[in-house]
Amino acid sequence: MVTRMRAVVCRELGPPESVTLVERDLPELADDRVRVRVGAAGVNYVDGLFVQGRYQIRPELPFVPGSELAGTVIEVGGAVTGWAPGDRAMASVGLGAFAGEIDLHPAQLTAVPDNLTDTQAATLGQSYATAWFSLTRRTQVHPGEWILVLGAAGGVGLATLDVARALELNTIAAASGPDKLELCIRRGAHEVIDYVTDDLKSRVRELTGGGADIAVDPVGGGHTQAALRSLGDFGRLLVIGFASGDIPDIPTNQVLLRNRSVLGVDWGSGP
């Protein structure tokens, strides 16, 4: 049976506003797939890159954007075990989440715990997974260490603040402007820095008594060097992304000094 559903479609590459909402057919469910009714989908920086044709992968047009979702299983293929209609599931899908329904391989699905809403669960697939991967797989962190988070009011930034607090780190949120800093405080940041009006390096050194242990950078541009210089002995700079549009050069003398490390984070291709 063919089902009709609504989906956001990118027909030609352009600004995020150029996508359209359409009715489209969802074909009969394949034997090895699970059909999920999407309850919520996260909107990420990467979704904007996809529709503008600025991501390293360019999907064939037209395509349905949307990289993470949570919802309810409504149909299960004949060859699938372990899932049943009514189960709640979340998934990181790359594309296809901005739709009423989506067919997924069971290996893509994770059960949603009862204490999470669909909206909360939908955000776990990208930003939170990146934060967790950064702080547990790309480096090891220890309770009481100081972590500086750039772009702290953004998706990766807020997730990193949450994960860092759960790992018992002392958090410094750096962002532009009072509204963003206020959000970071509401989300539990221990200290905040406005990196437009304050000197990031001096302020971090002051707050930490010598330098941060970890800096997380999803922004790039001029803030990266300041974050590197703000690190103390054995400090680690985690390079996550370049939301500013500027991929900065790293002065290697600043890496040598104080035994610092610069670590790349590519959650999508991580084991």
228 contacts ligand NAP (rule: CB under 6 A): no
Q: Which stretch binds ligand NAP (CB under 6 A): 22-30, 41-49, 75-83, 94-102?
A: 41-49
243 contacts ligand NAP (rule: CB under 6 A): yes
154 contacts ligand NAP (rule: CB under 6 A): yes
241 contacts ligand NAP (rule: CB under 6 A): yes
CA torsion through residues 249, 156, 269, 68, sign: negative
65 contacts ligand NAP (rule: CB under 6 A): no
153 contacts ligand NAP (rule: CB under 6 A): yes
**b/e burial code for range 233-243 (CB count within 10 A of at least 16 → b):** eebbbbbbbbb
Give the CA dihedral 206, 208, 211, 216, nearest 10 degrees.
-110
User: Nearest to ligand NAP by Cβ — which residue?
Assistant: 154
Does an H or E element contain 92, and which?
strand 88-92
Q: Report which DSSP code applies to 230.
A: T
155 contacts ligand NAP (rule: CB under 6 A): yes
Q: How far lies 247's CA from each of 50, 222, 242, 254, in Å?
A: 19, 9, 6, 17
240 contacts ligand NAP (rule: CB under 6 A): yes
Of 80 and 224, nearer to ligand NAP (C-beta) is 224
Q: Which stretch binds ligand NAP (CB under 6 A): 12-20, 32-40, 63-71, 239-247?
A: 239-247
Among 65, 71, 96, 218, binds ligand NAP (CB under 6 A): 218
Cα(92)–Cα(68) distance, integer angstroms: 4
| Closest C-alpha among 98, 97, 100, 161 to residue 127 | 161
Interface positions with ligand NAP (CB under 6 A): 44-46, 126-127, 130, 151, 153-157, 175-176, 180, 218-219, 240-245, 265-268
